[in-house]
């Protein structure tokens, strides 16, 4: 097998008649150009034409986008919303932290008016959430946990031990057996090892 072709930004890769532009490329005047320095990858994905993309060691720097599942850490809470730092987009860690907000009405899907943020999150919790909006100039990314799979995945009790989820709204401390309220995410098998 010949070594994989490498490219730098601006290089013309091929015509649109040969490929469909994928990530790390830009379309101009009927040609596909690279926008990243990386390996040129052609993949057949069932379409007529292969998809051409440029890949490098980490995926191209992702920014939290609408619909993306993000992992975040709660930094502060008040009765109206919880503030978080976004740590991951999907499984890609962010090098710089972005701030997000989970509003009271976005914590869960049902009985929204009864939500109490203090009974849903605590500072330091690791939360799985979904981006619903990039916010506006004045606000941060808006996130939601109103799905069964979203919510707190890691939390520490007041005694400092990592708690075990016992229901969708409670977690228990293995040391003191004290129960604390959280909006718990349904545990997915692939996260069990964490």
Q: Strand 164-167 and strand 126-133: pairing?
A: unpaired
* CA-based max dimension of the chain: 67
Q: Which is nearer to another protein, 35 or 172 (CB)?
A: 35
Token pair belonging to 163: 């708690």
170-172 and 179-181: which strand pairing? Answer: antiparallel
Instruction: Name the residue nearer to another protein (CB basis): 96 or 113.
Output: 96
Question: Taking the complex as a whole, how short is the minimal distance between the CB of residue 87 and another protein, in angstroms?
Answer: 5
Q: Residues 133-172: x/- map of binding to another protein (CB under 8 A)?
A: -xxxxx---------------x------------------
Sign for the CA dihedral angle at 140, 145, 146, 147 comes to positive
**CA 39 to each of CA 20, 26, 36: distance values in angstroms, whole numbers, following the listed order:** 16, 15, 9
Judged by CB under 8 A, the stretch of 58-66, 101-109, 110-118, 142-150 that binds another protein is 58-66
96 makes contact with another protein (CB under 8 A): yes
Instruction: Please state, in angstroms and rounded to a whole number, the distance separating the CA atoms of residues 60 and 38.
Output: 10
Degrees to nearest 5, angle at CA 189 with 183 and 194: 75
Among 13, 20, 21, 24, binds another protein (CB under 8 A): 24
Identity of the residue, 25 or 115, whose beta carbon is nearer to another protein in the bound complex? 25
Provide the binding-site residues for another protein, judged by CB under 8 A.
3-4, 6-12, 24, 26, 33, 35-39, 41, 43, 55-58, 60-61, 63, 71, 73, 87-88, 93, 95-99, 126, 134-138, 154, 191, 193-194
């Amino acid at each position: 097998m010949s070594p994989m072709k490498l490219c730098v930004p601006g290089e013309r890769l091929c015509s649109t008649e040969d490929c469909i532009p994928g990530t790390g490329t830009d379309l101009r005047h009927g040609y596909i150009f690279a926008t990243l320095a990386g390996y040129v990858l052609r993949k057949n994905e069932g379409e007529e034409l292969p998809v051409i993309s440029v890949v490098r060691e980490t995926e191209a720097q992702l920014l939290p986008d609408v619909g993306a599942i993000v992992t975040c850490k709660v930094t502060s809470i008040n009765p109206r919303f919880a503030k978080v730092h976004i740590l991951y987009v999907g499984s890609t860690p962010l090098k710089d932290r972005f701030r997000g907000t989970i509003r009271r009405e976005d914590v869960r899907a049902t009985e929204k008016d009864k939500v109490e943020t203090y009974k849903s999150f605590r500072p330091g919790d690791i939360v799985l959430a979904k981006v619903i909006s990039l916010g506006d100039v004045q606000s941060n990314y808006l996130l939601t946990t109103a799905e069964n799979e979203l919510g707190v995945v890691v939390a520490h009790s007041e005694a400092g031990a990592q708690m075990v989820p016992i229901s969708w709204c409670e977690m228990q401390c293995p040391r003191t057996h004290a129960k604390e309220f959280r909006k718990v995410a349904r545990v997915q098998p692939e996260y069990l090892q964490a």
